[in-house]
Amino acid sequence: MKKNTKIYIAGHRGMVGSAIWRKLEAEGYINLIGKTSSELDLRNQQAVNEFYSKEMPEVVVDAAARVGGILANNDYPYQFLMENLQIQNNLIDGAHKNNIEKFIFLGSSCIYPKLAPQPLKEEYLLTASLEPTNQWYAIAKIAGVKTCEAIRKQFGKDFVSLMPTNLYGSHDNFDLKTSHVLPAMIRKFHEAKIREEDTSHSEPVELWGSGNPMREFLFVDDLADAVFFALENKLPEYLYNIGTGMDLTIKELAETIQKITGHTGEIIWDSSKPDGTPRKLMDVSKMKNAGWEATTSLEEGIKKTYQWFLGNSEKYKEVKM
C-alpha cells in the first residue's frame, strides 16, 4: 500500500479501532477515515452504501461490533445476533459492490466450539457446538468469516479474517459491571491500594472462582500490528488466529497485576462463583508461519494499560488518585 492509500477503519473510537488508527498513523499513513456511530449508523444499509459511494475508500478494516459480557449476551440475544449481522453485512457487501479489493474482518476466539481441543486451530471452526452464553455474537462473527471467505473464493478479492484472543490495553473498559477479567482486576487492585494508603490497613481483594482456569491475553497494540501486517501483505488463507500462543492461570494473572499496581493485601478467591471454561488457548502457528508474531510481554502490556488507566481514571468515579 502507498502512504496515501485511503483506509476506512470502522469502529475507530473503540479499543481495537483506535489502536489500529494509532499504528497506521505511526507508520506514516495519511489518508485514514473514521466515522462515529452518530455520523454513520452501520446498521443502516442505505447509509453505509452512500458513505462508500461518497468516500470511496480503497481498503476497509472492520473493527466495529456490538460487544458485551456474558450478562449482556444472555439478556439481549437478538440484538447481539442481528446488529452484528447488520453491521458486518453492510460493510462487507458495500465494500464488494464498490470494488474494494482489500478488507480485514476482525472477530473473536469465541467463534470456536466450546469443547474444541486445545490449542484452538482455525480448522476447528464449525466442528461442534458453541458456548451457549455467547453463541449469538459468535454466530454473527462466523457468518462474517464465511462471507469474506465466499468473496475471496468467488471473486478473488483479498478479504481476510483475523480472530484475536482476549484483548486488553489502552481505551479498555474498566467498568466493574461490564468489563472483562484483566481490566476489572487492574481497577480492583488499584482501588484497594488507594484504600490501603488512606487507612494504613491491609485491604483484601476478592476475586471470582478458584483462580485455576487458564487464559491467553493479547495486548491490543500487538493486534494492531497484526492488522498492519495483513494490510501490507497478501495472506494466502482466509482465516488466521491472532494471539501469543501462551497462557497462564487466572491466579498468576492476579498476582502479576497485584505486583504492578503495588497492592499488598490478601487475595481472596470466592470458589462459590463460576470458573468458566478451564482453558482457552489459540494455536497461532499459521500467522507465525506467514511472518507475524506478538512481541509485547504480558507484564509490559499490563504496565502500559495501568498507566493509561491512571491517566484516564476520571471516567471511573470511585477511583481516587
> Binding site annotation covers 17?
yes
Q: Which residue out of 52, 112, 137, 238 is catalytically annotated?
A: 137
> Binding site annotation covers 310?
no
> Binding site annotation covers 275?
yes
> Binding site annotation covers 166?
yes
> Binding site annotation covers 180?
yes
What string of H, E and C letters represents the secondary structure of the chain?
CCCCCCEEEECCCCHHHHHHHHHHHHCCCCCEECCCCCCCCCCCHHHHHHHHHHHCCCEEEECCCCCCCHHHHHHCHHHHHHHHHHHHHHHHHHHHHCCCCEEEEECCHHHCCCCCCCCECHHHCCCCCCCHHHHHHHHHHHHHHHHHHHHHHHHCCEEEEEEECEEECCCCCCCCCCCCHHHHHHHHHHHHHHHHHHHCCCCCEEEECCCCCEECEEEHHHHHHHHHHHHHCCCCCCEEEECCCCCEEHHHHHHHHHHHHCCCCCEEEECCCCCCCCEECECCHHHHHHCCCCCCCHHHHHHHHHHHHHHCHHHCCCCCC
> Binding site annotation covers 53?
no
> Binding site annotation covers 32?
no
Kindly give the pairing relationship between strand 248-249 and strand 214-215: antiparallel
> Binding site annotation covers 96?
no
76 is catalytic: no
> Binding site annotation covers 296?
no
> Binding site annotation covers 16?
yes
> Binding site annotation covers 195?
no
> Binding site annotation covers 11?
yes
> Binding site annotation covers 264?
no
> Binding site annotation covers 12?
yes
Catalytic residue positions? 137
Annotated binding site for substrate: 188, 208, 215, 275
Annotated binding site for NADP(+): 11-17, 106-109, 141, 164-167, 180
